Amino acid sequence: MSKNDLNLMEKIVSLCKRRGFVFPGSEIYGGFAGFWDYGPLGVELRHNIKQRFWDKFVSGRDEIYPISTSIVMSPKVWETSGHVSTFSDPLDSGEKFNTMFKTSIGAGAEASVSYLRPETAQGMFVNFKNIIDSFHPKLPFGLAQIGKAFRNEISPRDFLFRSREFEQIEIEYFVREQDWENTFETWRKEMHEWVGEIGLPKNSIHELEVSAEGRAHYSKRTIDFEFDFPFGRKELCGLAYRTDFDLRNHSVASGIDLQYFDEESGERFTPHCIEPTFGVDRTVLAILVSAYTEDELGGEPRTYLKLHKNIAPVRAAIFPLLKNKPELVNKAKELFLNLKSQIPNLAFDDNGNIGKRYRRQDEIGTPYCITIDFDTLEDDTVTLRDRDTGEQERIPISDLVSKLK
Ligand code: GAP
């Protein structure tokens, strides 16, 4: 990492803590390597990312079914999936270290070992038959899950990039074997579209065709979508062709038939699976890295987050010009309460002077600031300030909702 890149990471980590995006896990006890806690703004940012994903890929389509499965599953799941035998990294000694977290289930002599899931995917494969039986979907169809995954990483590092507890968004998309290549191509495009929609510049994403040696044990083809992080070009999300590996193996091991029956042709077969997978925390980090900007505004240096308005933790902040004028404060509060039901994540701020409020909102990436002044009391207009340019326009209150949406 060059000095500038190191500085950038330090600045981002510090902004995240100072402004309440992300805190070191168990901080009052000196921290706990590989674990991070999200503060109010980080929670909102993550929530907005996940919500957009959900709107686009789940609610917005009729062939992708949401599911939410247990973090702890039967150890047989992990034996069958191949994770018990192959999910390991080499230690300095050369020895293999399985990175699944072991946990103990039940008490005393009855206790048995299982694992915290290292991927959300398996919960979807083992529920394949439940979805078929309840919903009778026609191929192609997918299952989608957002949830925590855990890996006992040997060296967690680079802030949110490699942690021991993180969140994944995964889709297992089932197709006929002969359709895998087309479906893979379609998802490849959808994934590029998605990263663009959350504000990551096109030229910051690079595809890496993963070699046979580099691929996970279940994959016949994998593309890593890499992002230029300050510490190097690294995997942000991935697309894998998992073949029928998981369904076939779980069928054999469980003795439960996980095939698909095509009513029209009378065929019975095991579908193949294309898997787009995303790390929520890596996405948050990539977004922060690409949004972090230092410039000069009005002759003063400033730091701001150039977040896309749809994912910014605060969409707009409302201020009374002066906090010691009750008529302005009351009008600002009234507007805040009126707009709150229509605009997500609105904030009210009357701390410090107006210049300081602008800087504070810029630093957390708030796209708009709305100021109530004495003219507002006369004509129901406000000033709307744009975060990126610092420019202000005077607009009627009745135009605010359409401007902010
Ligand atoms: N089901 C496939 C799967 O789990 P993966 O490439 O091992 O594939 C998927 O993980 C995504 O999960 C990665 O692209 C990354 O975004 C995220 N991820 C993996 N390990 C992580 C870690 N230690 N910390 C944060 N995110 C991680």
**pLDDT single digits (tens) 220-250:** 999 999 999 999 999 999 999 999 999 999 9
Separation CA 109–CA 89 (nearest Å):
31
pTM: 0.97
Separation CA 377–CA 351 (nearest Å):
21
What is the mean pLDDT of the segment spanning 280-300? 96
Give the confidence band of 163 by pLDDT, cuts at 50, 70, 90: very high
Answer for the pair 294, 303: CB distance below 8 angstroms, yes or no.
Answer: yes
Atom 15 of ligand 1, residue of closest alpha carbon: 279
Separation CA 313–CA 310 (nearest Å):
9
Which of 341, 347, 354, 280 is closest to 19 using CA atoms? 347
Separation CA 169–CA 190 (nearest Å):
14
Query: Residue 5: what pLDDT?
Result: 79
Atom 12 of ligand 1, residue of closest alpha carbon: 279
What is the mean pLDDT of the segment spanning 248-264? 97
Query: Residue 43: what pLDDT?
Result: 98
Which of 326, 327, 371, 367 is closest to 349 using CA atoms? 371
Q: Which two tokens stand for residue 190?
A: 């959808």
What is the mean pLDDT of the segment spanning 394-401? 97
Mutate to test the pocket of ligand 1, among 115, 119, 226, 231 (most ligand atoms within 8 A of CB): 119
Distance 356 CA to ligand 1 centre (A): 39
Sequential DSSP letters for 62-76 = SSEEE----SEE-HH
What is the mean pLDDT of the segment spanning 321-338? 96
Query: Residue 81: what pLDDT?
Result: 97
Instruction: Please state the atom number of ligand 1 nearest to the C-alpha of residue 166.
Output: 25
pLDDT in tens, 72-107: 999 999 999 999 999 999 999 999 999 999 999 999
Distance 279 CA to ligand 1 centre (A): 6
Mutate to test the pocket of ligand 1, among 157, 166, 241, 284 (most ligand atoms within 8 A of CB): 166
Distance 99 CA to ligand 1 centre (A): 13
pLDDT in tens, 175-226: 999 999 999 999 999 999 999 999 999 899 999 999 999 999 999 999 999 9
Helices and strands per DSSP (H, E), number in the chain? 13, 23
Peptide bond before 40: cis, by omega within 30 degrees of 0? no
Query: Which phi and psi (to 5°) does residue 98 adopt?
Result: -75, 125
Separation CA 277–CA 259 (nearest Å):
23
Distance 156 CA to ligand 1 centre (A): 13
Distance 154 CA to ligand 1 centre (A): 15
Q: Which two tokens stand for residue 367?
A: 């796209």
Instruction: Please state the atom number of ligand 1 nearest to the C-alpha of residue 279.
Output: 16
Atom 22 of ligand 1, residue of closest alpha carbon: 162
Q: CA angle, corner 249, sides to 264 and 242, nearest 5?
A: 75
Q: Taking all residues of the chain, what is their mean pLDDT, rounded to a whole number?
A: 96
Using CB atoms within 10 Å of the CB of residue 285, give its burial: 0 to 12 exposed, 13 to 18 middle, 19+ buried. Answer: buried
Atom 23 of ligand 1, residue of closest alpha carbon: 162
Give the confidence band of 376 by pLDDT, cuts at 50, 70, 90: very high
* Residue ranges lining ligand 1, Cβ < 6 Å: 119, 121, 151, 153, 162-163, 166, 168, 170, 235, 237-238, 275, 277-279, 281-282
Distance 62 CA to ligand 1 centre (A): 26
Q: Is the pLDDT of residue 3 over 80?
A: no
Distance 278 CA to ligand 1 centre (A): 7
